[in-house]
Amino acid sequence: MKSLHSLTDPIYVPKTLNWYDRFWMRYLKEERDLPFIYLLTKIHLTVVPIVILLFTPLLTGWIWWMVAVGYFYLAQFYFKGRYGLMFHCLCHRKIFKPAYQNTFHFYITWFVGPLFGHAPEGYYSHHLGMHHVENNNEEDTSSTMHYQRDSFKSFLAYFFNFLLLGFKETFQYLYRRKRKKLYTRFSVGEWTYIAFCIVMCFFFLKATLIVFVLPLMFARFVMMLGNWTQHSFIEHSDPEDIYTNSINCINTVYNHACWNDGYHIIHHLRPGMHYTEMPGEFWRRRDEFASKKAIVFDGIHYLHVFYYLMTKQYNKLADNLVNINGMFESREEAIVLMKERTRRLR
């Protein structure tokens, strides 16, 4: 196990603004969100031009496939996580000035998101309209509670349930709670995306599969893998306790690439908090984390945690577990608690 000494995850450091920064500050509320603009700029200089190229007759045969494979890696393995967690931040916080917020958010949601497998309006409706309201409990249609969370078989059941029934169950949840605006946006976005893909397949089958269809399947797999891992450890005696139904991953390069997404406990406690404030908030709350025996890993991220759970390598998890304020008397005690918290709630 590890001790809690310091944090290396990104915080805001003021900088001298260049001309590009000053241009975008006409539209942004604050300088801390300029990194999102730089990510979107890179996407528009790389991903977007290749997408256009794949839908033209300029490339044929093996050259088309070579470009398509390179594009898929660039968009879905390099940019997907960065974009997805940026969009996550944009859903929780309005970063643009009021006069521009709706225009920019609509463009990012409807025109940029689909390139990374995000059906328009779906993520916002599911994540803010349900997941944060229910916090992975009974009414959350993506809840991990009733699955054995160190079983790959159980994870596959979880993933395919979401893939096949996720839209229906989320719509029903929003409808029962009379969230008309949300379930309307959710339905329009999902069915528009599906109809668009069907029509495009008749004209550009290969390109549509590579650019829109496969990314949709991949995105839903990645999101469910992430949610599964973030909520793999649940205290049975109080499954609603945010400290003990989620995890933090600190001091990892993942947090630098994906906007401190490893601070999932902090995110559920303070959903609207700016990502650069999360390390400080965790540090201030460390005594509370210790009193709850919250699960915090140091130096590993969600993919590591998922792999160690699927292979039941609790020793590896224990190696990277942070023993805050000596909350565990022994390594064995920590492993027993982790095994207990991954057990299915019936």
pTM: 0.95
- The tens digit of pLDDT for each residue in 93-110 reads 999 999 999 999 999 999
In a domain, 217, yes or no: yes
Q: Residue 261 pLDDT more than 90?
A: yes
Query: 45 and 86: one domain?
Result: yes
DSSP labels for 102-120? HHHHHHIIIIIGGGGT--T
Residues 187 and 57 in one domain: yes
Q: What is the pLDDT of residues 38-60, one digit of tens each?
A: 999 999 999 999 999 999 999 99
Residue 246 has pLDDT above 90, yes or no: yes
pLDDT at 333 over 90: yes
Residue 255 forms part of a structural domain: yes
pLDDT at 100: 98
190/282 same-domain check:
no
Per-residue pLDDT tens over the stretch 222-236 = 999 999 999 999 999
The two three-digit tokens of residue 150, written as one number: 């160190």
Q: Work out whether the CA dihedral 4, 288, 237, 148 comes out positive or negative.
A: negative
In a domain, 10, yes or no: no
> Which one of 202, 230, 258 terminates a domain?
230
Phi first, then psi: give them for residue 317, nearest 5 degrees: -65, -40
Q: What's the total number of domains in the chain?
A: 2
Q: Within this chain, do residues 184 and 257 fall inside the same structural domain, yes or no?
A: no
Is a pLDDT exceeding 90 seen at residue 279?
yes
Asked whether residue 190 falls in the same domain as residue 73, the answer is yes
In this structure, the number of other CB atoms found within 10 A of the CB of residue 153 comes to 10
Residues 206 and 64 in one domain: yes
- Residue 153 inside a domain? The answer is yes
Across residues 235-251, what is the average pLDDT?
Answer: 97
Indicate whether 32 and 170 sit together in one domain.
yes
* In-domain check, residue 211: yes
Residue 35 structural domain = 19-230
Question: Measured between alpha carbons, how far is 327 from 292 in angstroms, rounded to an integer?
Answer: 9
Do residues 74 and 97 both lie within one domain? yes
- Confidence class for position 282, pLDDT limits 50, 70, 90: very high
Residues 115, 76 share a domain: yes
**Above 90 in pLDDT, residue 66?**
yes
Indicate whether 146 belongs to any domain: yes
Residue that terminates a domain, selected from 199, 230, 261: 230
Q: Are 275 and 283 in contact (CB under 8 A)?
A: no
**What is the sign of the dihedral through the CA atoms of 206, 208, 212 and 214?**
negative
Q: What confidence score (pLDDT) does residue 245 get? A: 97
pLDDT tens-digit profile of 181-224?
999 999 999 999 999 999 999 999 999 999 999 999 999 999 99
| 72-87 pLDDT, tens digit each | 999 999 999 999 999 9
pLDDT at 2 over 90: yes
Judgement on whether residues 326 and 219 belong to the same structural domain of the protein = no
Task: Quote the CA–CA distance of 98 and 165 in Å, as a whole number.
Answer: 36
- pLDDT score, position 311: 98
Q: Which of 200, 230, 260 is the last residue of a domain?
A: 230
CA distance 262 to 301: 7
Q: Are residues 283 and 150 in the same domain?
A: no
Note the pLDDT of residue 238: 95
In DSSP notation, 148-191 reads -TT-HHHHHHHHHHHHHHHHHHHHHHHHHTT-HHHHHHHHHHHH
Helix (H) or strand (E) holding 297: strand 295-298
How high is the pLDDT of residue 346? 80
Q: Is residue 126 part of a domain?
A: yes
Mean per-residue pLDDT over the chain, rounded: 97
Q: Could you tell me which residues come within 8 angstroms of residue 29 by beta carbon, excluding any fewer than 6 positions away?
A: 94, 95, 96, 97
Same domain, 202 and 77: yes
Residue 3 maps to a domain: no
